Amino acid sequence: MSDHVNGAAEGTVANKVPVTITVNGRTHRADCEPRTTLADFLREDLGYTGVHLGCEHGVCGACTVQLDGSTARSCCMLAVQADGSEVTTVEGLAEDGQLHPLQEAFWNRHGLQCGFCTPGMLMTACELLADNPDPSAEEIREGISGNLCRCTGYQFIVESIQEAAPKMRPAT
Amino acid sequence: MAEQSAAGLIGARVRRQEDPRLLTGRAQFVDDVRLPGMLNAAVLRSPVPHARIVRIDVSRALAHPGVYAVVTGDEVRAAVATPQPVIWRMIPDQRMTDGYPLAVGKARYVGQGIAAVAATDRATAEDALELIDVEYDELPAVTTLEEALAEDAPKLYDEWPDNVSCRATIPKGDVEAAFAEADVVVRETFRFARQMGTPLETRGVVATWDPFTDRLDVWLSTQSPNLARDLFGEVLDVSVDKIRVRVPDVGGGFGNKFDFYGEEVVAAILSKRTGRPVKLIEDRLESFVANAHSREQKVEVELAATSDGRITGLRGTVYAVLGGQLATVGIGPCWLTAALMSGPYDIANVEASVVGVVTNRSPYGSYRGWGQPKSNFAHERMVDLLARRLDMDPLDVRRKNLIPADAFPYASPVFFYDGGRYDECLGLATDAVRDRGWLRRRDEARGSGRTVGIGYSFHVEITALGPSRIMNMAGLQHSAFDEEVVRIDSSGRVTVYTGQTALGQGIQTALAQVAAEQLGVPLDDVTVVVGDTDTCPYTGYGTGASRAASLGGGAVLTASKRLKEKVLRIAGGMLEAAPEDLVVADGRISVVGVPDRSVSMAEIGDAAYRRINGRLPEDEVPTLEEREVFDPPNVAFSYGCTAVLADVDRETGEVRLLDYLIAHDCGTVINPLIVDGQLHGGAAQAIGGALYEELVYGPDGQIQTTTFMDYLMPTASEIPAFELLHMETPAEHIPGGFKGMGEGGTIGGAAAIAGAVDDALADLGVATVALPITPPRLLAAMRNGQVQA
Amino acid sequence: MKAAAFDYHRATSVDDAIQQLGAADDAKVLAGGQSLVPLLAMRLARPTVLVDLNRLADLAYVRRENGELAIGALTRHRTVETAELVRRDVPLLADALAHVGHVTIRNRGTIGGSIAHGDPAAELPAVAVALDATFRLRGPGGERSVAAGDFFFGYLMTALEPDELLTEIRWPVLPQGTGCAVEELTRRNGDFALVAVFAALTMGADGVCTQARISVAGAAAAPLRADNAEQALIGSRVSAADAGAAADRLAAATDPPNDIHAPADYRREMAAVLGRRAIQRAWAQANRTNAGE
């Protein structure tokens, strides 16, 4: 893309920006307004509706994705900023029809109820276990405290992450 | 998942059928619905708490590129047949507010809808909102209960004599005499902040109203699709056969999505006007003014008792701090606070009143627990205060006054409590407290200079809301039965069609467990279809009032039983055996003692639908389907005891919950995993309500909490691990014995937390009488004795 | 909650960014975006043009230079928090960063963004003030350095000119024998603190406090350096009574805000409580450090 894009003068239609982005291994190219957030771009333009919007102001964590290897809140980024990036969403966790160990553990342990916070919670838990392969319950609570859940009271989420941890640890 | 044998599926801790779609991002929530040509709408909201709307000029907005339509309150009023319905009318002479989907003439709270725009996308719609010019003639606002009740207070409704919408009193026994003869009388006033359910998914609707056929097709994130369909019909004057309400996955409800909101009507009107589908998704900021608020009350209570702690009388008044207009449930939640003010106690003389007062705040609607968290806080705090007055152990006061097990069914001031073993439940909790070493932990902490306390509460929870005729007599403008359909198809698989909504509570798995056990098929052979008024049966009321598992489970159980009888008759013919000599297990029907003589459910399905001749008995009609309507003879009361171990920082006023347990009885448990999850989640909301959450209004009537940085829903770090203890006393009047339990965790938490805080600060004589207990308030209370709002 | 429209410029160099900032009336710099993008969504920030620095890789670094730690303005919080150099040379900074929001926020948020935003309740401005960090700013007229103590002067107000860019923050290395402590009072984990105290105390060979660096966030319209408390501690052995007296001085200097989360009086009182705790904890750590633990 060019380095400067006119968003919209008063009352005119905005210029759109081409954005190229790789999501869950597939490269997409689409045009969007500069003001479009990464979350809206993933949901509306690319169809990754597993990315959920719970607050659009960077508190609830439901829109959390992996961006170039670490978690990011996709509501707190513009799509244009992610041009050329690699993104993983919840849709990219399961492979070949097999649930990811965290997905399996959340299912076993009732780590979700309505499921709205779940995609963000899973993405955060992935990073948490990568950084700390054997966390205590308190460390898990601290690690997911940027992801609000209104249904579960968190206990079964903590137990789910504990159950998944040994399965995600690299063999020693 | 692994094949589960049908036997014992009721009560089995199985993982949920709902989860794979939710875990993989394949669920469809209302904001994920995209229809061809769909427009996005946004609502202009009042920036002032009280004003006459002098003039609205939408011309600049209409001229904005990408805008398809703009509607104002007057235009919406002209398009509807009735004001927004209020379905709970317990108080016959209540003054109704007759509000419309957008403000007409006057704005009565900050955030009330004034106009709405439909445009190509949400950003463009929001751009256009900025181009609408509204002239307001501001009026003095009443922003608090006291201001609203003051003499000469500005009136919200010019035609009323004051700001009081209703007054009613619920009597039982002779309260005057009880207080005249009492050894001791304890009085207290409690205050509850505004709070709301705050599901993580905000509300939303996608409406397509065909202007030529008049068919209205709605996707709605709701707890009550049948109610919504009927109310759409009333308000828009369309017969319900033309209205279809579909409910996608729902990202939490908690009562907020029970009510029928003006935006839903606005979306329909915008659709008709533009000829296109219109999506209207509430964003988080507006959710704090456009969602029904709840909880805010002042409750005055007096207890009369004997000197040995026997409660002889209770008198109370609930002041409901209603908003600028009535929500769908009207005075309902606040009336329930009064109706259940005696809680689990056997009190001969009770007089509870409710006073509904309108203020320039957002409307008051449903939130998990309805009026019960407040009635519970009132009676439990009063019991603690009575014990303090009499220098008794509060547990002894509870034991002395709990309704004894042999007194059921028990006539409380309004409801018949169906049954329970309250004293045993209290014992379960106190035993666990002992076994977990709380007393030792409290004493050791005190020895080392920390401040730790133990608190208890005992709650009752009204569930299984019905029966329809009694509810109608009580003022409900709707029914409260439940209808379920169970079908076996030609391949022998089972589908349950339900009018209940799946909003995270696991209703699909729970109903599947009931059907699978009754029919003798593996759990994975059962699919539960929800969320479409065109294909699913009718449930009265909706998915609220802890009804779904209890009434839905009861109806599915009865329908499945009848369906199984037909299966056995068909199998009997095919196996040349009497139906009573047959057993069903794992989807096969076999002759008792001769397992080789069997047919599969698939063969039965084939015989009932396809290759009928010679296989389906001559006197049987084809197909395998049963429909059951269950209108329960009574509600069912679940109950429980909450105990909390809390640490108070005397320097900062911070409260930390060290341990938390709930002993609970909800009748026959269908799935303990789900029950545990519901109790956990309910308790977390109780903790939020007790310590963190408050919708704050400034003296100017402006709301000051419109983000998740200001409205403090607890994170995982603030919530403790929970210990749960179960007992099962089946409901005798409900098939299967199921009681509801969706709200129990929420009801009893605050009183137990307050009790623990008071216990920790017993030497200072602190009495917690207001919620939430914030650090500044608690620190002030340590100096003057009471936690005040 | 969708942002109003704006133009977008992806800066190709610091000079390019500065030129863009000067060219528009109401340009805003986009760094980590963790504060700015929500403000855009709420339409509380309405720039005409956003100048995105995120491709300026040469603004992201942590290195030791001339006895100081130099950190590029675009370095992410998480990178700084976990950098060995920072843990060793400026441990108070690493401790404070662990309190900034949550890991996901720290993955994106930048050091320069937090400083330039100038939130008086935030950790980084307060730590910079405590440690006498210096900020390198570049504008059309060239480069200048501003001491942290001269940089923040009101709620979200700083010495940064509209066409200037913060490029680097330089941190003095803390001496041997220094103990650090961060005490925060938050309603929920990760929230902005109601009050926070940052303390670095250095113990001399004779067991006397030789250097004290203390600041308070959430205590005034700008981050507050508690120099009166520092003066009270220097030369003392930091007894419990010394710590309490210094904390009282610290609290007396505050002029905290009154808002829905806490009244001003409460915040002032908490400044004394947290101040005492931070001083005692930092001193205990200095003790352990000196004992060679």
Helix, strand or coil for residue C254?
coil
Mean pLDDT, chain C, whole residue set: 96
Q: Rounded CA gap, B301 and B401, in Å?
A: 17
pLDDT at C290: 82
Instruction: Residue C29: count other Cβ atoms within 10 Å of its Cβ.
Output: 24
Helix, strand or coil for residue B46?
coil
Whether residue B716 is predicted with pLDDT greater than 50 in this model: the reply is yes
CB contact under 8 A, C189 and B717: yes
CB contact under 8 A, B677 and A141: no
Tell me the β-bridge partners of B643.
B456, B661
Q: What is the DSSP string of C85-128?
A: HHHHH-HHHHHHHTTSS-HHHHHH-BHHHHHHHT-TTSHHHHHH
Helix, strand, coil shares of chain C, percent, nearest 5, are 35, 25, 35
pLDDT tens-place string over residues B233-269: 999 999 999 999 999 999 999 999 999 999 999 999 9
Q: Per the structure block, which two tokens stand in for C143?
A: 């480069």
Q: Would you say residue C16 lies in a domain?
A: yes
Token pair 């009565």 is found at B108
- Which residues of chain B lie closer than 8 angstroms to A122, CB-CB? 23
| Whether C204 and C157 share a structural domain | no
- Which residues of chain A lie closer than 8 angstroms to C108, CB-CB? 72-73, 76-77
CB contact under 8 A, B715 and C269: no
Q: Rounded CA gap, B705 and B284, in Å?
A: 11
Sequence-distant (6+) residues with CB within 8 A of A42 are A23, A48, A51, A65, A74, A87, A89
Calculate mean pLDDT across residues B271-291.
Answer: 98
The values of phi and psi at residue C110, to 5°, are -115, 155
Q: What is the DSSP string of A27-60?
A: EEEEEE-TT-BHHHIIIIIS--TTS--S-SSSSS
Q: Rounded CA gap, B749 and B660, in Å?
A: 9
Find the CATH number of the domain harbouring C255: 3.30.390.50
Q: Rounded CA gap, B788 and B194, in Å?
A: 14
Would you tell me which residues 731-760 of chain B have a C-beta closer than 8 angstroms to some C-beta of chain A? 745
| Whether C192 and C276 share a structural domain | yes
pLDDT at B3: 40
pLDDT at B551: 97
- Which residues of chain B lie closer than 8 angstroms to A118, CB-CB? 22-23
- Comparing C-alpha atoms, which of B336, B266, B353, B359 is closest to residue B88? B336
Q: Rounded CA gap, C96 and C278, in Å?
A: 12
Q: Rounded CA gap, B768 and B786, in Å?
A: 6
What residues in chain C have their Cβ under 8 A from chain A's Cβ atoms? 1-12, 30, 33-34, 37-38, 40-42, 50, 52, 54, 78, 101-105, 107-108, 188-190
CB contact under 8 A, B716 and A56: no
The dihedral sign for the CA sequence C17, C23, C24, C25: positive
| Whether C24 and C82 share a structural domain | no
Q: Residue A55 is nearest to which of B20, B29, B284, comparing CB atoms?
A: B284
Give the distance from residue A109's alpha carbon to the nearest chain B alpha carbon, in angstroms: 8
CB contact under 8 A, A93 and B26: no
Token pair 């010394």 is found at C242
pLDDT tens-place string over residues C84-119: 999 999 999 999 999 999 999 999 999 999 999 999
Chain C interface includes A39 (CB < 8 A): no
Residue B406 DSSP one-character state: G
Q: What is the dihedral of CA B207, A58, B701, B294, to 10 degrees?
A: 60
Q: Residue C103 is nearest to which of A57, A71, A76, comparing CB atoms?
A: A71
- Which residues of chain B lie closer than 8 angstroms to A50, CB-CB? 24-27
Q: Rounded CA gap, B372 and B353, in Å?
A: 15
CB contact under 8 A, C6 and A61: no
Q: Residue B683 is nearest to which of A59, A140, A153, comparing CB atoms?
A: A153
What percent of chain B is modeled with pLDDT above 70? 99
Whether residue B1 is predicted with pLDDT greater than 90 in this model: the reply is no
When pLDDT is cut at 50, 70 and 90, the band that residue B2 belongs to is: very low
CA distances from B689 to B332, B527, B669 (A): 20, 37, 27
Mean pLDDT, chain A, whole residue set: 94
Whether residue A8 is predicted with pLDDT greater than 80 in this model: the reply is no
Give the distance from residue A145's alpha carbon to the nearest chain B alpha carbon, in angstroms: 5
Give the distance from residue B541's alpha carbon to the nearest chain A alpha carbon, in angstroms: 21
- Which residues of chain B lie closer than 8 angstroms to C189, CB-CB? 715-718
Q: Rounded CA gap, A163 and A149, in Å?
A: 19
Would you tell me which residues 237-266 of chain C have a C-beta closer than 8 angstroms to some C-beta of chain B? 260-263, 266
When pLDDT is cut at 50, 70 and 90, the band that residue C205 belongs to is: confident
Would you tell me which residues 8-27 of chain A have a C-beta closer than 8 angstroms to some C-beta of chain C? 8, 14, 17
CA distances from B659 to B438, B645, B720, B721, B765 (A): 9, 5, 6, 7, 23
Q: Rounded CA gap, B686 and B457, in Å?
A: 12
Into which CATH architecture does domain A101-168 fall? Answer: Orthogonal Bundle (1.10)
When pLDDT is cut at 50, 70 and 90, the band that residue A11 belongs to is: very low
- Which residues of chain B lie closer than 8 angstroms to A34, CB-CB? none
pLDDT at B195: 98
Q: Would you say residue C117 lies in a domain?
A: yes
Domain housing C253: 178-288
Q: Rounded CA gap, C41 and C83, in Å?
A: 33
Q: Which chains are within 8 Å of B by 3+ CB pairs?
A: A, C
Mutate to test the interface with A, among C8, C110, C187 (most CBs of A within 10 A): C8
- Please state which CATH number belongs to domain B19-27+481-630: 3.30.365.10
pLDDT tens-place string over residues B309-319: 999 999 999 99
Total domain count, chain C: 3
Domain coordinates in residue numbering, chain A: 17-92, 101-168
| Whether C148 and C78 share a structural domain | yes
Chain A interface includes B710 (CB < 8 A): no
Chain C interface includes B91 (CB < 8 A): no
Give the distance from residue C221's alpha carbon to the nearest chain B alpha carbon, in angstroms: 19
Q: Rounded CA gap, B192 and B690, in Å?
A: 9
The dihedral sign for the CA sequence B601, B606, B612, B613: negative
Helix, strand or coil for residue C182?
strand
Q: Does domain B434-451+637-789 have CATH number 3.30.365.10?
A: yes
CB contact under 8 A, C34 and A57: no
CA distances from C183 to B394, C240, C248, C252 (A): 38, 17, 15, 18
Whether residue B786 is predicted with pLDDT greater than 80 in this model: the reply is no
**Could you tell me if B17 and B528 are in contact, meaning their C-beta atoms sit under 8 angstroms apart?**
yes
Tell me the β-bridge partners of B168.
B354
Fold classified for A17-92: Ubiquitin-like (UB roll) (3.10.20)
pLDDT at B231: 98
Chain C interface includes A33 (CB < 8 A): yes
CA distances from B571 to B558, B584, B598 (A): 20, 10, 8
| Whether C200 and C276 share a structural domain | yes
Per-residue b/e over B201-224, b at no fewer than 16 CB within 10 Å?
A: bbbbbbbbbeeeeeebbbbbbbbb
Chain A interface includes B677 (CB < 8 A): yes
**Could you tell me if C278 and C198 are in contact, meaning their C-beta atoms sit under 8 angstroms apart?**
yes
**Could you tell me if B624 and B488 are in contact, meaning their C-beta atoms sit under 8 angstroms apart?**
yes
Residue B95 DSSP one-character state: P
Chain C interface includes B652 (CB < 8 A): yes
Whether residue A172 is predicted with pLDDT greater than 60 in this model: the reply is no
Q: Which chains are within 8 Å of C by 3+ CB pairs?
A: A, B
- Which residues of chain A lie closer than 8 angstroms to C102, CB-CB? 61, 145-146
Give the distance from residue B506's alpha carbon to the nearest chain A alpha carbon, in angstroms: 7
Helix, strand or coil for residue B45?
strand
- Which residues of chain C lie closer than 8 angstroms to B692, CB-CB? 187-188
Q: Rounded CA gap, B491 and B526, in Å?
A: 12
Q: Residue B680 is nearest to which of A48, A144, A156, comparing CB atoms?
A: A156
Q: What is the DSSP string of A69-109?
A: TEEEEGGGSBGGGGTT-EEE-GGGTSBTTBPPHHHHHHHHT
Give the distance from residue C238's alpha carbon to the nearest chain A alpha carbon, in angstroms: 32
Calculate mean pLDDT across residues A116-141.
Answer: 98
When pLDDT is cut at 50, 70 and 90, the band that residue A112 belongs to is: very high
- Comparing C-alpha atoms, which of B220, B200, B231, B203 is closest to residue B277? B220
Pairing between β-strand B113-119 and β-strand B164-172 as defined by DSSP bridges: unpaired
H or E segment at C195?
strand C195-203
CB contact under 8 A, A145 and C34: no
Q: Which chains are within 8 Å of A by 3+ CB pairs?
A: B, C
CB contact under 8 A, B201 and A149: no
Domain coordinates in residue numbering, chain B: 19-27+481-630, 434-451+637-789
Chain B interface includes C205 (CB < 8 A): no
Q: Would you say residue C46 lies in a domain?
A: yes
Q: Residue C101 is nearest to which of A3, A35, A146, comparing CB atoms?
A: A146
If 0-12 CB within 10 Å is exposed, 13-18 middle and 19+ buried, where does residue B596 land?
A: exposed
| Whether C266 and C182 share a structural domain | yes
Q: What is the DSSP string of B522-591?
A: -GGGEEEE-SBTTTS--BSS-S-TT-IIIIIHHHHHHHHHHHHHHHHHHHHHHHTS-GGGEEEETTEEEE
Find the CATH number of the domain harbouring C30: 3.30.43.10
Residue B197 gets the label, from left (phi > 0), alpha (psi -120 to 50) or beta, of alpha
Alpha carbons within 13 A on the beta-carbon side of C102:
31
Whether residue C221 is predicted with pLDDT greater than 50 in this model: the reply is yes
Chain A interface includes B98 (CB < 8 A): no
Residue B30 DSSP one-character state: G
Q: Residue C187 is nearest to which of B127, B651, B712, comparing CB atoms?
A: B712
Whether residue A13 is predicted with pLDDT greater than 90 in this model: the reply is no
Give the chain C residue whose CA is nearest to the CA of A64. C104
What percent of chain A is modeled with pLDDT above 70? 93
**Could you tell me if B628 and B553 are in contact, meaning their C-beta atoms sit under 8 angstroms apart?**
no
CA B661 to chain CA centroid, Å, is 22
- Which residues of chain A lie closer than 8 angstroms to C5, CB-CB? 7-8, 14, 33-35
Whether residue C288 is predicted with pLDDT greater than 80 in this model: the reply is yes
Lowest mean pLDDT among B127-131, B377-381, B563-567, C153-157: C153-157
pLDDT at B788: 67
When pLDDT is cut at 50, 70 and 90, the band that residue C293 belongs to is: low
Q: Would you say residue C227 lies in a domain?
A: yes
Mean pLDDT, chain B, whole residue set: 97
Calculate mean pLDDT across residues A135-160.
Answer: 98
CB contact under 8 A, A35 and C7: no
**Could you tell me if B366 and B258 are in contact, meaning their C-beta atoms sit under 8 angstroms apart?**
yes
**Could you tell me if B622 and B605 are in contact, meaning their C-beta atoms sit under 8 angstroms apart?**
no
CB contact under 8 A, B709 and A57: yes
pLDDT at C292: 72
Q: Residue A76 is nearest to which of C2, C38, C78, comparing CB atoms?
A: C38
Q: Per the structure block, which two tokens stand in for A115?
A: 């499921």
